[in-house]
Amino acid sequence: MESDNKAARPVETLKQAIIRFAGDSGDGMQITGSQFTNTSAVFGNDLATFPDYPAEIRAPAGTIPGVSGFQVRFSSFDIHTPGDRPDVLVAMNPAALKVNIKDLKPNGIVIVNTDNFGKQDLVKAKYEVNPLEDSTLDGFRVVRVPLNMLTKETLKDSGLDPKVVMRCKNFFALGIVYWLFQRPMETTVDYLNLEFGKNKKRPEIAEANIAAMKAGYNFADISGLFQVSYEVPRAKLTPGTYRNIQGNMAVGLGLLAASKLCGLPLFLGSYPITPASDILHQLSAYKNHGVITFQAEDEIAAICASIGASYAGNFAVTTTSGPGMALKSEALNLAIMTELPLVVVNVQRGGPSTGLPTKTEQSDLLQMMFGRNGDSPVPIIAASTSSDAFDCAIEASRLALKYMTPVILLTDGYIANGAEPWRLPKISDLPKIEVRQLESKDKEWYQPYLRDQHTLARPWAIPGTDLLQHRIGGLEKEDVTGNVSYDPANHQRMTNLRHEKVAGIAKDLPPFQLVQGQKGDQILVLGWGSTRGAITAAVESLREEGKSVAQAHLRYINPFSPALKEVLESFEHVLIPEMNMGQLAFLIQGKFAMKVHSYTKVTGLPFTTNEVIDKVHEILG
């Protein structure tokens, strides 16, 4: 082959790029995408990712339901979403091409593994004609790579089983993409050595993958596959130490931090459920932090064990997703009635019923608000990005412990699995969480339901404390004494108190701030949860256009900030985009008797920036 070294080819500088890796579930696309992400993070780009998993159970190899994708957007400026349409698509097989090609930007680069376009492969992907041979790919820059052959050739002397060799082809592809964007490979080399070499004691696998990746890089370099390569310079981020973080991981770390901040052992009762199980796995590895994890026999037992642990004085948490929340609702009410601190994490997924376990949605909001018998108020906090989930977990814990109440923390599949750079907080800057568990000497005044004047929290007396023996339960309590009471006036009073206690949290919230724009702008785009990135990008772009648009994003859903009503009323229009059928819009309209524009989407995919922009244009006319 003619040597045509890379210096001879131009390097073009871009402000951002979006790559989507797509292949069969068995092709390792999530690892490949994460590796590109970590490398770009360490390099210093801002970034956002969107892993798109197929359903949990593996579909037959090569078919459309089996396609797994990972999109990463990296940039030299501040970004908020993983982007709508990729510039580069890596398609490991025809099914991956078929699912993803419609999203590729015009004139985008598509790298295809030509070795997987045999007759059988085409049939599995339901292609009648080979898309590499007809007009399907017209208008794109098609890069044809016989990945299987090249990987086999690279590793022919490795002595590895041919199956194992084939599993290295994603790293060959990654090497090609690394060359295309002029990325260093050290981060991935270190990862492979640690993961396979050290942890799994399979150094030969690490070596093979490294060899395949380097071969891919060199192949791209010397074969002249591409006319140009690209570079995306570092972003100007706020100074600090950064790491990449996924939302589930951030929740786990936030809960652990809260446990240290309040000085109580963390107890997690949980039952495996997609997409929340990662938090259970993560916290189970923190035993040397004194964390207790309990995988219960079902969702009900998971929350019940946590309630028991809370009663016994631990900082208790339960984690789940929508269907699990449905099962937990009776026990959640017990925690409300017994006024015990408990953090309940709901990583939302597509519903109803089993719904779309691996897809994202925000459709549990009203279930969290109202899905229990009786008048049973519970504070609700929603995380808006992966790193925000860390702060929200600490905040949910603070409120639970201060007000002696269960608190629901909402995230969703998009936050749970999506990654973003996280500027790490200083441990000393984290807020201390004050907790008081009574001692025997408090016997003088102790009554199980004698409330704190300010917070209306009842006192926390834990078993093992002499002289404070008492009984609690799910039957209505008499005010102050906590004895069982069926007295009508008492029930009214206790219902009011439970309501006032949660409503009173509003006084304890940080001042309400708009994300962009100001009061009196023509339209406010109001969001909550994981729509934040898309809304921020859309409002930025609209404001650049000169539109009078503001943005607000809610972390506190119950209670609302006391300033919210007045803020909302200062706008001519309020647009609420959400990934459900209009649940926040319903709450706002119900609470404030005001008209809003509800914009909804339930495709299992997040909003794109353009969707929000178009909607605002439509309203403003």
Tell me which residues touch another protein (CB under 8 A): 38, 41-44, 187, 237-244, 253, 256-257, 260, 265, 267, 269, 286-292, 294, 296-298, 300-301, 304-314, 316, 330-331, 334, 338, 423-425, 427, 462-475, 483-484
DSSP-derived 3-state class of residue 293: strand
Burial of 5 (0-12, 13-18, 19+ CB in 10 A): exposed
- Inter-residue contact 118 to 124 (CB < 8 Å): no
Upper half-sphere CA count for residue 367 (Cβ side, 13 Å): 22
Q: How far is the CB of 544 from another protein (least distance, A)?
A: 25
Q: How far is the CB of 327 from another protein (least distance, A)?
A: 11
118 phi/psi in degrees, rounded to 5: -75, 175
Q: How far is the CB of 225 from another protein (least distance, A)?
A: 28
Of 276, 277, 283, which is closest to residue 254 (Cα–Cα)? 283
DSSP-derived 3-state class of residue 596: coil
Determine the Cα–Cα distance for residues 567 and 512; give it in Å rounded to an integer: 9
CB-nearer residue toward another protein: 245 or 549? 245
Q: How far is the CB of 351 from another protein (least distance, A)?
A: 24
- Inter-residue contact 384 to 530 (CB < 8 Å): yes
Q: How far is the CB of 588 from another protein (least distance, A)?
A: 33
Determine the Cα–Cα distance for residues 389 and 397; give it in Å rounded to an integer: 12
Determine the Cα–Cα distance for residues 87 and 360; give it in Å rounded to an integer: 24
Determine the Cα–Cα distance for residues 70 and 49; give it in Å rounded to an integer: 7
CB-nearer residue toward another protein: 156 or 236? 236
CB-nearer residue toward another protein: 484 or 581? 484
Q: How far is the CB of 515 from another protein (least distance, A)?
A: 22
CB-nearer residue toward another protein: 362 or 417? 417
Tell me whether the omega of the peptide bond preceding residue 559 falls within 30 degrees of 0, making it cis: yes
CB-nearer residue toward another protein: 34 or 151? 34
CB-nearer residue toward another protein: 53 or 191? 191
CB-nearer residue toward another protein: 332 or 587? 332
Instruction: Find the distance separating the first CA and the last CA of the chain, reported in whole Å.
Output: 59
CB-nearer residue toward another protein: 260 or 499? 260
Q: How far is the CB of 575 from another protein (least distance, A)?
A: 34
CB-nearer residue toward another protein: 97 or 258? 258
Determine the Cα–Cα distance for residues 346 and 323; give it in Å rounded to an integer: 10
Q: How far is the CB of 255 from another protein (least distance, A)?
A: 11
Q: Which residues of 210-220 are buried (b: 16+ CB within 10 A; e: fewer)?
A: bbbbbbbbebb
Determine the Cα–Cα distance for residues 328 and 442; give it in Å rounded to an integer: 34
CB-nearer residue toward another protein: 366 or 472? 472
Q: How far is the CB of 210 from another protein (least distance, A)?
A: 17
Q: How far is the CB of 114 from another protein (least distance, A)?
A: 33
CB-nearer residue toward another protein: 425 or 504? 425
CA angle 328, 330, 334 (to 5 degrees): 110
- Which residues make Cβ contacts (< 8 Å) with residue 511, sequence separation at least 6? 563
Q: Which residues of 572-600 are buried (b: 16+ CB within 10 A; e: fewer)?
A: ebbbbbbbbebbbbbbbbeebeeebbbbb
CB-nearer residue toward another protein: 227 or 238? 238
Q: How far is the CB of 283 from another protein (least distance, A)?
A: 11
Q: How far is the CB of 447 from another protein (least distance, A)?
A: 13
206 phi/psi in degrees, rounded to 5: -60, -50
Of 554, 249, 260, which is closest to residue 397 (Cα–Cα)? 260
Give the CA dihedral 409, 455, 334, 561, nearest 10 degrees. -40
